[in-house]
Structure 1
Amino acid sequence: MDNDVNWSLTFSLVVASLVLFLLYRYLTSTFTHFSERGIPGPKPVPIFGNLWGIWRVNLPQHDRDLVRKYGKIFGYFDGSNASLWVTDPEIIKAVFVKDFDHFTNRRNMTFESKIVRRMVSSARGQEWKDIRSSITPAFTSGKIKRVSVCLHSYKYKLHSNSNFSLKLKMSTLIKACADQLAVKFDRIATTEGKLNAKIQFSAFTMDVIARCAFGIKIENLGEKDDQFMAKAKAIFNAPVNKTPLAVIPLIYPKLIPILGERLFLTEGFQFFIQLLENLIKDRTASKQKYEDFVQVATEAITEYTKEVEGKSVPKWNVEEIEEIVIAQSVLFLLAGFDTTATTLTNIVFLLALNPEVQSRLYDEIAKKMEFYAEVKHEMLIDLPYVDQAINEVLRMYPPVPRVERECNKDVIYNGIQIKKGTIVTVSSFALHYDPDNYPEPEKFNPDRWNADNKAERNPYTFLPFGMGPRNCVGMRFAMEEIKIALCTIIQQFHFFPVAETPETMQFEKGFMQVTQPVNAVVGIERRTAQ
């Protein structure tokens, strides 16, 4: 009897050991992918690959450390999935532009939500091409300048419309939001003398998008009871970003539906989807023309056609059009809100620490104002030093820390083989701080971007908005917004460091899709007449 028990126990241990061994082999079977090709990289661990602990790190610094240690081309594993990291400008050019047809898609996330799948940032293959082509007209510089909107008072109920309607150019509307921001700055300068920049710029960018994109005016924006802002912020700084669950979409994307999409598509995300669904339903029942982003995008997507038996017919049916419009509108709101607010925060922070740059910026804006009298779209065209300063801020603190493409066909560049299914990852921070591209990279120096220096630099060393056909479709809108806000506040206010101002910008730890500044407090005072 004892022999039977011992034999059974031994057999069970052997089977368990064999199962664990096979599981280990399965989980690590891809880990020789790069070493077999002579490509260096950090040593991966089972299940997590190189992602263990990523939810606890400062992502910009973490990525820069990796590139410093392993070079401009190295292998990395998201779980068992191979990812080739590159900061080599020639490979970046090939992946993002020259051979874009081999790298059309971004990483594939297994979300069942049609809204998420139809976002231009998530769509794949031909569907991405069709959606991108259909919505691009809504982001042209002409639309930014000329589109008009009807504003409605909004306090979390779409039916609380006021009776006034204003026909305004979009750039004029952005200026109106910037003027309101200046009023807030004036009050803060008078009463407190120091500014939490991210809070104020977040309210400003949300105001701009709510008005320009959706034709709504939020009455209590930025106040304590403002759920609109609270839900938007929660999406970018969600608690899940600081836990191991943050890496599940990268390691095992097929687990997303099993774990529940709401774990990743939070309550805030659902709030904005519902907001857009209600807004579109209201508009369907109304004959009023709004001429905001939702209206322009709906018209552009509706007019997009395909060829069937030699005839041009609508590409999408009514239900599909609504899904695509909601998807792009939610993306426009969320992506434009936080990235632009972060960039404006970083600008003010760096200007506070670099008074000579701030002075030059003020002089250029003041000179323009002598001719134009007020900030407007036309004056933004020729502000070279403003452009230089913005580019330098985007170099030092790119809002999106990583840019990715998925390889759909085996290719070889300079002896480096990239297999189908491999993710190519570019760390924006590592690329922008490479001393081969930017001497003294820690130094804030807008003159890097003057005409002569810019002409000598490889253009594929700067990716704040991505690169190539799949770059940020809202880039023109974002730059218009940033310039109008900057010109409006710099001519009125002076920023300077205070005790709470850190020596360098600090970012939230965690697996963040958009960098989140912390402690971005600067001094503020109204400028005296000069």
Structure 2
Amino acid sequence: MDVAYSLFGGVLLLLVLTRLSFIIRKVRAWITWCADVKHLRSLPSPPKRWILGHMLELGPTEHTLSFLQKFHKEFPKYCVYWIGPVLAEVRTANVETMKRLMLRPGDPKPTIYGFLYKWIGDGLLTTSGAKWIRHRKMLTPAFHFDILKQYIPVYNEVSYKLVEIWSGLADSGESVEITEYLHSYTLDVLLRCMYSSNSNCLEKKDGMDYLKAVKRLTDLFLARAYNPLYVFDWMYFNTPAGRQFLHYSDVVHKFSEGVIVQRREELLKTSKPAKKYVDFLDILLSAKDENGEGLTDTEIREEVDTFMFEGHDTTASGLSWVLYCLAMYKEHQEMCRKEIREVLAGRDYITWEDLSKLSYTTMCIKESWRLYPPVPYIAKELSEDMIIDGDRIPKGTWFTMDIITMHHDPLVWDNAEEFDPTRFNAENSKNRDPFMYLPFSAGPRNCIGQHFAMDELKVTVTHILNKFHLEVDKEHNVERYTIAVLDARAGIKIKLSLV
């Protein structure tokens, strides 16, 4: 009996000590957090409201862009912004500070990226550490030039359909809201390159449930990001918006999982499916790490969904702003068209070899992305303290790299608001710091799909300019809207006329 009591007492003491240790750790963490908040209040920051902080200024609108540019001039290295009374975000548009941040691969993504977890899971965008390194190595072959070359016929085919639809709208005198078409266009391209899907999203025949789900998930993610009441999952997923997010995530997952299972069955029947090209899914299914281990079906689905999230909206945004700039600056549009006509020499399709010859068109694309970067901000959470000009930025701080402000900084770019494609000719680009131009980020976590996106845009812009003159609708106000990508609040309207 004494032994039993002693054993019981020991177990009870262990439980008490374990619980006490947990409480002590939490108290210490809370004390550290309070000290960090107090410290952040001593760092450079714009005037703020007592309870709201800078919440009214940090929205997705043009006002926010002007606000951030103003205080970047006042605090050029970094600036602290407050989301409510105690949550702080540090922002920078300084090239050197951004370089330091992007060269720190160990920093995880901040809490806001966790809002995507129910949708895209633990893919390249959201994961970090050893898993990110493993997946990055395994996915890199999917974006090798030999693979990308096979997608040129896909870009041509979907571009033909876009041009055909727009030809029916040209010369009507009415402007065309292009962003809706381009979202369907980029979705169509992605479905074909990822799954070899015979999709036809431009005519709203295929993939529309998937397109609707992806679009709705993006909107819901952004609405949550701007609502501090939805920080906690247990609260958010009990709201109508949260339940919608779960529903549309399920729609996307069922679509992806169905295709993955079907493709695995095909590969069991034959090692060489009768297809014109190797798609993204083929590569993921055959990828092996250094230990000979492949990706699970869940991991494959997460990477496919991540690529859809990152590659669909960003490419549509980038393409929209390129066409807007070419419509705004007609002399550059004509120079691109002249180059395109010389390269194509009467053909109506683009080859892989043509892409390297479209030098001026490429410069115009790059300059458009300088003024209108598809991804305006990138964020991470500091895994260790960071010292900037003698100031300590505490571990755990949410740090946002403000790409769009840096791209418009007159201290970085001469005549920063001017559209000048020659910035990107060989001579002017030769000695430029790569961290001065960040449409695809930089460093170890740069965009793995950047060459895919650039090739797609070159082919698409070539087809459009070979067929149409573009002119902006001067009665339509184009207002930048900085959500997950740089969007236009009421879209972009362009007048099309046949060449």
**Range of TM-score over shorter length:** 0.7 to 0.9
Which segment is superposed worse, 429-438 or 410-419? 410-419
Change (3 A) 1:525 1:372: closer
**Letter of the 1:314 counterpart:** E
Tell whether the 8 Å contact from 2:410 to 2:416 is kept in structure 1 after alignment: yes
Deviation at 1:192, TM superposition (A): 5.5
- Equivalent residues in 2 for 1:384-395, closer than 5 Å: 384-395=359-370
CA change 1:178–1:266 in 2 (3 A) is: farther
- What's the CA shift string for 1:419-473, capped at 9, x where partnerless? 2212221112111110111222222221222222223543212111111111111
2:289 aligned with 1:304: yes
Match of 1:88 among 79, 94, 109: 94
Task: Give the Cα separation in 1 of the matches to 2:91 and 2:474.
Answer: 39
2:484 pairs with 1:513: yes
Give the whole-Å Cα distance in 2 for the aligned partners of 1:203 and 1:191. Answer: 22
Within 2, Cα distance between the matches of 1:282 and 1:95? 42
Question: What amino acid is the match of 2:256?
Answer: L
Change (3 A) 1:260 1:466: farther
Structure 1: tracts of 5 or more residues without a match: 1-24, 146-168, 306-311
Change (3 A) 1:115 1:127: farther
The corresponding residue for 2:307 is: 332
Please say if 1:229 is aligned against 2:211: yes
In the alignment, what sits opposite 1:278? 258
Distance 1:175 1:346 in 2: 20
Q: What per-residue deviation string (whole Å, max 9, x for no partner) do you get for residues 466-518 of structure 1?
A: 1111111111111111000011111111101334343xx3134xx72112223
Q: C-alpha distance in 1, partners of 2:454/2:66?
A: 26
Partner amino acid, structure 2, of 1:91: T
Looking at structure 2, the residues matched to 115 and 204 of structure 1 have their Cα atoms a distance apart, in angstroms, of: 22
Within the alignment, does 1:196 sit opposite 2:199 as a pair? no
1:513 counterpart letter in structure 2:
A
Q: Does 1:524 align with 2:496?
A: yes
Residues 332-351 of structure 1 aligned to structure 2 (within 5 Å): 332-351=307-326
Contact 1:42–1:76 under 8 Å retained in 2:
no
Q: 1:389 to 1:500 in 2, by over 3 A?
A: same
Q: 1:222/1:72 Cα in 2 relative to 1: closer, same or farther (>3 Å)?
A: farther
Residue aligning to 1:6: none
Note if contact 2:236-2:242 (Cα within 8 Å) is conserved in structure 1.
Answer: no
Is residue 43 of structure 1 aligned with residue 51 of structure 2?
A: no
Return closer, same or farther for 1:89/1:116 CA change in 2, 3 Å cut-off.
same
State which drifts further: 109-118 or 77-86: 109-118
Gaps of 5+ in 2: 1-30
CA distances 1:188-247 after superposition (whole Å, capped 9, x unpaired): 114455321112211211111111111112245443994343333323334x74578634
| 2:464 matches 1:489 | yes
Q: Is the 8 A contact 1:501 1:519 kept in 2?
A: no
The alpha-carbon deviation at position 326 of structure 1 amounts to 0.6
Kept in 2, the 8 Å contact 1:93–1:460? The answer is: yes
Aligned to 1:136: 140
Which of residues 161, 166, 170 in structure 1 aligns to 2:151? 170
Change (3 A) 1:481 1:315: closer
Q: Which residue identity does 2:94 align to in structure 1?
A: D
Choose from 90, 95, 106 the match for 2:109.
Answer: 106
Partner of 2:14: none
Aligned position for 2:410: 435
Q: Which amino acid aligns with 1:231?
A: A
Distance 1:452 1:229, change over 3 A: same
Is 2:14 aligned against 1:33?
A: no
User: Is 1:314 equivalent to 2:297 in the alignment?
Assistant: no
Does the C-alpha gap of structure 1 residues 524 and 84 become closer, same or farther in structure 2, counting only changes over 3 Å? same
Deviation string, structure 1 residues 39-73 (Cα, Å, up to 9, x no partner): 34443645x65335644744544433442454331
How far apart, in 2, do the equivalents of 1:183 and 1:44 lie? 53
- Equivalent pairs counted in the alignment come to 458
Question: Cα offset for 1:315?
Answer: 6.1
| Cα deviation code 1:135-172 (max 9, x no counterpart) | 11111222111xxxxxxxxxxxxxxxxxxxxxxx3111
The runs of at least 4 consecutive aligned structure 1 residues that moved more than 6 Å come to 25-28, 257-261
Q: Is the 8 A contact 1:437 1:457 kept in 2?
A: no
On the 8 A contact 1:174/1:208 being kept in 2, the answer is yes
Over the matched positions of the two proteins, sequence identity in percent amounts to 23
In the alignment, which of 168, 187, 191 is matched to residue 210 of structure 1? Answer: 191
Aligned to 2:19: none
CA offset digits 1:87-142 (Å, max 9, x no partner): 22122222212xx2453x22245469576332110012111111111111111222
Structure 2 Cα separation of the partners of residues 473 and 485 of structure 1: 20
The answer to whether the aligner puts 1:269 opposite 2:275 as a matched pair is no
Q: Following TM superposition, by how much is the alpha carbon of 1:393 offset from its aligned partner in structure 2, in angstroms?
A: 0.8
* Corresponding residue for residue 282 of structure 2: 295
Scaled by the length of structure 1, the TM-score of the pair is: 0.78
Amino acid at match of 2:199: I
TM-score of the superposed pair, with normalisation by structure 2: 0.82
Residue aligned with 2:374, SS? coil
Q: 1:116 to 1:235 in 2, by over 3 A?
A: closer
Q: Do the aligned partners of 1:189 and 1:525 also contact (CA within 8 Å) in 2? A: yes
1:437-476 alignment runs, 5 A limit: 437-476=412-451
Q: Provide the rounded CA distance (Å) in 1 between the counterparts of 2:36 and 2:416.
A: 36
Deviates more, 1:274-283 or 1:254-263: 254-263
From the superposition, tell whether residues 114 and 352 of structure 1 become closer, same or farther in structure 2 (CA, over 3 Å).
closer
Q: Aligned equivalents of 1:452 and 1:26: distance in 2?
A: 51
Q: Is residue 364 from structure 1 mapped to residue 339 from structure 2 by the alignment? A: yes
Q: For 2:376, which of 382, 401, 415 is the aligned residue?
A: 401
Q: In 2, Cα distance between the equivalents of 1:400 and 1:428?
A: 8
Instruction: Report the secondary structure of 1:218's partner residue.
Output: coil
Change in 2 beyond 3 A, CA 1:500/1:271: farther
In structure 2, give the amino acid aligned to 1:515: L
Letter in 1 for 2:211: M
* Alpha-carbon shift at residue 178 of structure 1 (Å): 0.9
Q: Give the direction of change, closer, same or farther, for the CA distance of 1:66–1:277 in structure 2 (3 Å limit).
A: farther
Q: CA RMSD in A?
A: 3.1
CA contact (8 A) 2:106 2:128 kept: no
Separation of aligned partners in 2, 1:203 and 1:492: 20
